[in-house]
Structure 1
Amino acid sequence: MYDFGLARRYVDKNNNIIPSRKEVGWRGTTRYGSLNAHKRLDLGRRDDLESWFYGLVEMTRGTLPWRNVVERNHVQKAKEASRLAGRTQFLFETPSQYDKIFTLIDSYTFESAPDYKQINKYLVEAREERQLRDREHWDWEDETVSTTITTITSFSDKELRAKADQQYAIAL
């Protein structure tokens, strides 16, 4: 899903990056906002990736360390800590490639062109390491219909065995 509510042009008509506006005020959702958002700096592509990454970690782990923190400045401190001593806790039980992605995102500046191919490579490595399939049927699709749509939803071998065991138990 995409939300373009906060979107704005970052290149001019000549395809040159529009300079940062410096301080712009708070933008985004506290839980997923980038550190630059907390610092009220202009947001760019790197900030979109940082917000996406927080969502990725949350989907993988089931939570974020600052999930129940209400104060925006405390969330900022937790995000800052996730880059230092709290990094192990933040990335707990996530693929090792997440650390590489996080490092890559943090290396970008406002003007940087993100290396999406490298990020995708890390994600493919993580999927292959965990033996996750890259193609699945959507829940609402007829199982007999063949599809070439790549989905984010994949089941691990462990999940597939559990489903098979559950169906076996039902059959008994």
Structure 2
Amino acid sequence: MSSHPSPQHAVPPNFSSAEFRLALGMFATGVTIVTARAPDGSLVGLTANSFNSVSLSPPLVLWSLARTAGSMAAFSTGSHYAINILGADQQALARQFAAREGDRYAGVAFTTGAGGAPLLEGAAATFECFNRSRYEEGDHVIFVGEVECCSHRQGAAPLLFHGGRFYTEHPL
């Protein structure tokens, strides 16, 4: 039994936002493009590396989006979205969907998935998700999707992101 009471709140950070970003960048991630069809029929999509599995039964995944993102309304109100895990040969697509200006779908080949969400051709894997729940935390919203359908491209090498740069896998 501990004689020290548990703290009720986190201690304020003793580091800057820039230091926090640099430390987070040391965690290598895969790269995804999250896509959806907005209620008005327009297509939305963005590059995200905040993706993770949550549960096998039921099949759940999560990703997060900045509260200030222009696509927040479409993702918050839509019934479905797709998470497209990019292959090593899709770095240009990751940059295109990360750009602040321009038509992100210009020249992009896709098929239509659940709820009209675009499934990007050539993706290493796709997850068609029902927009199950959202959690507001800090400056982001965490989306939990219930996977209704998934597929993967056998033997596809993933596109990776680490320390602000793209990589591809090299087995040890």
Q: Larger Rg: 1 or 2?
A: 1
* TM-score between both structures, scaled by the size of structure 1: 0.26
Higher relative CO (CA 8 A, sep ≥ 6), structure 1 or 2?
2
The structure in which a higher percent of residues are strand is 2
TM-score, normalised on structure 2? 0.26
